[in-house]
């Protein structure tokens, strides 16, 4: 299969800006999306999706797993990058399909060390936050949306800054880099059942990050 089918001489163009975040609408074809879901399913077989708890002990609505050197973990002690799944196993390798999206989007950045996989079931959402636990903010965070539509909100560098929103759809790729790297963002809600990509519905979001 001709995954991504990109012409090397022409970099993909941002189609929409939300705040300072570039969203490449429809970047992934249906067949690309299906291939990615298959690859992510294999990751989840080796590293099953699990729940995170907030500091106060509440389960977060988004469930996660990861591939790469680091995954994400949070509990009563706070949140952090970790090199092992809660089972004690190291994380699976980042699938080649996902690496090729990074290569298309992240320019000359080093390879991502974390491929965080978020699963949004019915009613799941993610509060406004910054991605700021990485060592070098020169490198972008690349975010891939698969499955149900999600209302993505982007603000500025301060929590109180004005925000704007966009519906992210299956196949969209967002890049939070440059001036947008430390901007607050979150997912207010998903439109459960709006896509048929995932058999049981819901949304997968994959973010690629250089951690160290």
Ligand X SMILES: O=C(O)CCC(=O)C(=O)O
Which residues are near Mn ion by CB under 5 A? 131
Q: Given the complex with ligand X, which of 20 and 131 has the nearer CB atom?
A: 131
Task: Indicate the burial class of 172 (C-beta count within 10 angstroms; 0-12, 13-18, 19 or more).
Answer: buried
Q: Which does 117 bind (CB under 5 to 8 A by kind): Mn ion, ligand X, none?
A: none
Q: Give CA separation, 136 vs 12, 68, 142, 211, in Å.
A: 24, 17, 14, 7
Minimum CB–partner distance for residue 9 and ligand X (Å): 30
Q: Given the complex with ligand X, which of 93 and 131 has the nearer CB atom?
A: 131
Q: Which helix (H) or strand (E) holds 46?
A: helix 30-46
* Contact (Cβ atoms closer than 8 angstroms) between residue 97 and residue 41: no
- Residue 163 in contact with ligand X, rule: CB under 6 A: no
Residues 167-186 that bind ligand X (CB under 6 A): 168, 185
State which of residues 152, 154, 166, 202 lies at the interface with ligand X (CB under 6 A).
Answer: 152
- Residue 118 in contact with ligand X, rule: CB under 6 A: yes
- Residue 188 in contact with ligand X, rule: CB under 6 A: no
Q: Which of 148, 151, 141 is nearest to 183 (CA)?
A: 141
Minimum CB–partner distance for residue 29 and Mn ion (Å): 25
State which of residues 23, 52, 101, 126 lies at the interface with ligand X (CB under 6 A).
Answer: 126
**Gap between the Cα atoms of 174 and 92, Å rounded:** 24
**What are the tokens at 73?**
């973990």
Q: Given the complex with ligand X, which of 40 and 88 has the nearer CB atom?
A: 40
Fill in the DSSP letter of residue 113: S
State which of residues 20, 79, 121, 131 lies at the interface with ligand X (CB under 6 A).
Answer: 131
**What are the tokens at 160?**
């109180």
Q: Which of 134, 149, 117, 109 is nearest to 211 (CA)?
A: 134
- Residue 187 in contact with ligand X, rule: CB under 6 A: yes
Binding site for ligand X (CB under 6 A): 116, 118, 126, 131, 143, 150, 152, 168, 185, 187, 205, 207
């Amino acid at each position: 299969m001709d995954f991504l089918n990109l012409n090397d001489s022409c970099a993909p163009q941002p189609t929409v800006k939300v705040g300072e975040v570039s969203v490449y609408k429809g970047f992934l074809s249906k067949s690309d999306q299906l291939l990615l879901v298959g690859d992510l399913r294999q990751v989840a077989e080796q590293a099953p999706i699990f729940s995170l708890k907030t500091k106060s002990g509440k389960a977060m609505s988004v469930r996660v797993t990861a591939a790469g050197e680091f995954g994400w973990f949070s509990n009563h002690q706070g949140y952090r990058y970790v090199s092992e799944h809660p089972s004690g196993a190291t994380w699976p390798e980042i699938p080649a399909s996902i690496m090729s999206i990074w290569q298309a989007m992240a320019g000359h950045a080093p390879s991502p060390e974390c491929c965080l996989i978020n699963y949004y079931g019915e009613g799941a959402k993610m509060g406004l936050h910054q991605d700021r636990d990485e060592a070098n903010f020169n490198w972008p965070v690349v975010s891939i949306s698969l499955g149900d539509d999600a209302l993505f909100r982007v603000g500025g560098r301060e929590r109180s800054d004005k925000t704007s929103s966009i519906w992210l759809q299956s196949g969209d790729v967002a890049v939070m880099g440059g001036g947008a790297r430390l901007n607050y963002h979150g997912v207010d809600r998903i439109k459960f059942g709006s896509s048929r990509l995932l058999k049981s519905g819901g949304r997968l979001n994959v973010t690629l990050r250089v951690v160290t």
